[in-house]
Chain A
Amino acid sequence: MEIILEQAKLIHPGHPGHGSRLNIRIRDGKIVSLKAGKDKTAKTIKGKNLHVSIGWLDLGASVGEPGYEHRETVHSLTLAARDGGYTGVAVMPNTKPPLHSKAEIEFITRKSHAADIDIYPIGAISKGCQGKELAEMIDMHTSGAIAFSDGLFPVEDNGVMLRAMRYVNHFNGLIINHPEDQATAHLGQMHEGIVSQQLGLKGIPSIAESLMLQRDLYLAAYADCRYLAHLVSTEESVKQFKAARKILPSAFSSVSYLNLLLEDASLLDFNSNFKQSPPLRTARDRKALIQGVKQKVIDIVCSNHRPLETEKKDLEFAYADPGTVGLQTAYAALASEQVLEPEEWVLAVAFHSRRALKLALPAMELGAEANLTVFDPEAEWEFGPERVKSLSKNTPFAGKRLKGRVLATVHKGVAYLNN
């Protein structure tokens, strides 16, 4: 199969063609031409304002396999990811059983071979993701675990975290932690502030994040460990991380796209689709996070994809699980509100995510296997129910018109064209 991306603006800082409009020809999954100018043969992808970049890689999505196949299989995750522009996904270990030993890691890597995208398992830091005993991280690393995290569960115990950070130095591994001190966040349902006060809901104060983030940064410095502060959500975290970066060059940070887009006021009518972890916070936090991404203090923007069945989501607010599916809407929802420039987005989802995971960037040159995402910030579309590829439907964007669309991805020799 041969396709041509017509007049696509290349977003690839460092590349000689960065920012120029190219006609990119792909044959049998390989880039065979990178030329400016018109070309009228083969299947052509056009757009009002076509853009192309190396394929995006989402860090920290949840997959249902093994154990929660009704929420998401590797196959359905692949479909959702490609529809949203991702050619790679690093998945969290919160499965059943968790990805906490060689056997589960190999299960995911085997599944990944058959998938049309790259799926990288993140191994658990602790057995059962319970934060008590270290899991066999060297063994998991050898079997293909790309990094280590207890995923949805922040590692509470300082000693466990310190030992994990030192242990992965064996292979210069990456420790990922979502900083939220559970004793301070105790039973919180949303951001603690004026809105939680009005709703009578117990809040998660910003300081719950600051406390654990600071601890993690101290420990990472002490252990000389590569560390990712995953899904920071507060203005204070941006400040803390900015200061830490000067002395911790191998520390990274990520944010959920929803925290760049929405605020705690979205919860005023108790819509559980807006119940998130980390919680949606104030306008001030949101602005600071956006500036954090623009100034590259926050490296990575994540979809925070968390598929959940209706029975876990369409419930009384207090009983609903936090999280929403995000792979298909992360780009479009942010583009609709013009939160980030295309280059800022591409750096966050394609370049920085790979740098944190020590993955080589796909080559954008003649003869290279194409690993591309093609998107159009001007294209309008509706996220109707028939478009949801995930097995779970927990999204606040169902039926919404969005501006900014992924038109195609090319990877592993397969071109996936969105209709």
Chain B
Amino acid sequence: MGEQAQFSTKHLIGIKYVTTKDIELIFHTADEFKEVINRPIKRVPTLRDVTIANIFFENSTRTRISFELAEKRLSADVINFSASSSSVSKGETLLDTVNNILSMKVDMVVIRHPAAGVPVYLANRVSANIINAGDGTHEHPTQALLDAYSLIEKLGPLSGKKIAIIGDILHSRVALSNIFCLNKLGARVRVCGPPTLIPKHIASLGVEVSHDVESTLRWCDAANVLRIQLERQEIPYLPSLREYAQYYGINAAMLDRIDKPILLMHPGPINRGVELSSDAADSKQSIILQQVENGVAIRMAVLYLLANRN
């Protein structure tokens, strides 16, 4: 790949720290990698001799696998580290853990952590490129990039398009990164969910707020439906999942009623029967599996562009 354009930052901490040009560069690069991963031989030697550590302090299946696949497709050397197999339970600090890994000459770190701000903390203290794979309720930039990329594939340029984010906005780093990303790409964004799961100051980010799912679906061109993250709710914000499913859940009957072809997205894993019924999740309007495929191409692009900066 010969493009001259360079990524503006050394790390991918969050969408709010990158420019619209960066986002466009990632998408352009992802187009090329998407072509690569659909070839019979899916591997390119681009990141040969680059060592990448995937450090996950929080459970993850799809994000970790997607990063790992992206790294392997680029021929990087990959090491995986997860909190369950770590020294963290023995009281080692985050910085010690990461420094230990870096002293094994690691070039890039993909990190997921339950505390917001951890990638910033690391970026200020270690020399490797840091890629945020989700930090607390702060950002999940590669998810937002793959969501926007998937939307553009289906809808074309997002300027003026109406995108709804529905569900637990309060505990969602996906929502925050999506809002930053969609704003930068000129889309209109509406968040929708029960009032206790909508942050008080969310409108300051330039989004609309609604508590009515059906009217929101009628308004939007695409709906990104978020998981109800019970594991992040340290106190109850909802009386029950049953009530949530009844008043905020999306099903095929509702999609039929709005009588308008909208796209349905979900970052996974889905609570089937809670935020999405199976007949909605598996409907023709769903692009959930395309999101997953695009995730690999987007992550390849991010890794490639950051490595290319060094």
CB contacts under 8 Å to A, within B180-236, are 199-202, 204-205, 234-235
A208 to chain B, nearest CB (A): 12
Establish whether residues B201 and A316, one from each chain, have CB atoms under 8 Å apart when the complex forms. Answer: no
Determine, out of A137-145, A191-199, A213-221, the stretch whose residues face the partner at the interface: A191-199
Q: Does A201 contact B (CB under 8 A)?
A: yes
B189 to chain A, nearest CB (A): 14
Complex interface bits, A175-207 against B, C-beta within 8 A gives 1, otherwise 0: 000000000001101001110111111110100
Establish whether residues A187 and B234, one from each chain, have CB atoms under 8 Å apart when the complex forms. Answer: yes
Nearest B residue to A318, CB-CB: B115
A193 to chain B, nearest CB (A): 6
Q: Does B118 contact A (CB under 8 A)?
A: yes
Complex interface bits, B221-256 against A, C-beta within 8 A gives 1, otherwise 0: 000000000000011000000000000000000000
Cα-based distance from A186 to B176 in the complex (angstroms): 21
Known A198-B205, A201-B137; judge A316-B94 contact (CB<8 A).
yes
Establish whether residues B204 and A199, one from each chain, have CB atoms under 8 Å apart when the complex forms. Answer: no
Q: Does B102 contact A (CB under 8 A)?
A: no
A167 to chain B, nearest CB (A): 33
A264 to chain B, nearest CB (A): 11
Cα-based distance from A197 to B169 in the complex (angstroms): 11
Establish whether residues A194 and B115, one from each chain, have CB atoms under 8 Å apart when the complex forms. Answer: no
Establish whether residues A316 and B113, one from each chain, have CB atoms under 8 Å apart when the complex forms. Answer: yes
Q: Does A270 contact B (CB under 8 A)?
A: yes
Complex interface bits, B82-122 against A, C-beta within 8 A gives 1, otherwise 0: 00000000000111000000000000000001111110110
Chain A residues within 8 Å of B176, by CB: 200
Nearest B residue to A198, CB-CB: B16
Establish whether residues B139 and A200, one from each chain, have CB atoms under 8 Å apart when the complex forms. Answer: yes
Q: Does B11 contact A (CB under 8 A)?
A: no
Q: Does B138 contact A (CB under 8 A)?
A: yes
Q: Does A269 contact B (CB under 8 A)?
A: yes
Q: Does A68 contact B (CB under 8 A)?
A: no
Chain B residues within 8 Å of A186, by CB: 235
Establish whether residues B117 and A193, one from each chain, have CB atoms under 8 Å apart when the complex forms. Answer: no
Say which residue of B16, B93, B116, B201 sits within 8 Å of A194 (CB atoms). Answer: B201
Nearest B residue to A189, CB-CB: B116
Known A198-B205, A201-B138, A315-B93; judge A192-B116 contact (CB<8 A).
no
Known A200-B136, A200-B176; judge A316-B117 contact (CB<8 A).
yes
Q: Does A383 contact B (CB under 8 A)?
A: no
Nearest B residue to A197, CB-CB: B201
Say which residue of A193, A311, A317 sits within 8 Å of B201 (CB atoms). Answer: A193
Q: Does B173 contact A (CB under 8 A)?
A: yes
Chain A residues within 8 Å of B205, by CB: 197-198
Chain A residues within 8 Å of B120, by CB: 269-270
CB contacts under 8 Å to B, within A192-249, are 192-194, 196-203, 205
Establish whether residues A199 and B202, one from each chain, have CB atoms under 8 Å apart when the complex forms. Answer: no
Cα-based distance from A314 to B122 in the complex (angstroms): 11
Establish whether residues A316 and B121, one from each chain, have CB atoms under 8 Å apart when the complex forms. Answer: yes
Nearest B residue to A200, CB-CB: B138
B16 to chain A, nearest CB (A): 7
Chain A residues within 8 Å of B137, by CB: 200-202
Known A194-B204, A198-B205; judge A317-B139 contact (CB<8 A).
no
Complex interface bits, B64-85 against A, C-beta within 8 A gives 1, otherwise 0: 0000000000000000000000
B235 to chain A, nearest CB (A): 7
Establish whether residues A316 and B199, one from each chain, have CB atoms under 8 Å apart when the complex forms. Answer: no
Cα-based distance from A187 to B171 in the complex (angstroms): 13
Establish whether residues B116 and A200, one from each chain, have CB atoms under 8 Å apart when the complex forms. Answer: yes
Chain B residues within 8 Å of A200, by CB: 116, 135-139, 173, 176
Establish whether residues B118 and A316, one from each chain, have CB atoms under 8 Å apart when the complex forms. Answer: yes
Establish whether residues A317 and B117, one from each chain, have CB atoms under 8 Å apart when the complex forms. Answer: yes
Cα-based distance from A205 to B93 in the complex (angstroms): 30
B132 to chain A, nearest CB (A): 11
CB contacts under 8 Å to A, within B13-62, are 16
Chain B residues within 8 Å of A189, by CB: 116
Chain B residues within 8 Å of A202, by CB: 137
Chain A residues within 8 Å of B113, by CB: 316
Chain A residues within 8 Å of B202, by CB: 197
A189 to chain B, nearest CB (A): 8
Say which residue of A269, A311, A314, A318 sits within 8 Å of B116 (CB atoms). Answer: A318
Chain A residues within 8 Å of B93, by CB: 311, 315
Q: Does A319 contact B (CB under 8 A)?
A: yes
Could you list 5 examples of A-B contacts with CB < 8 Å? A194-B201, A197-B199, A199-B117, A202-B137, A316-B117
Interface residues of A (CB under 8 A from B): 186-187, 189, 192-194, 196-203, 205, 269-270, 311, 314-319
A-B contact sample (8 more), CB < 8 A, given A200-B137, A200-B173, A201-B137: A186-B235, A192-B200, A198-B205, A199-B116, A203-B201, A311-B93, A315-B94, A316-B115
5 tightest Cβ-Cβ pairs between the two chains A and B: A270-B117, A200-B138, A318-B115, A317-B117, A200-B137
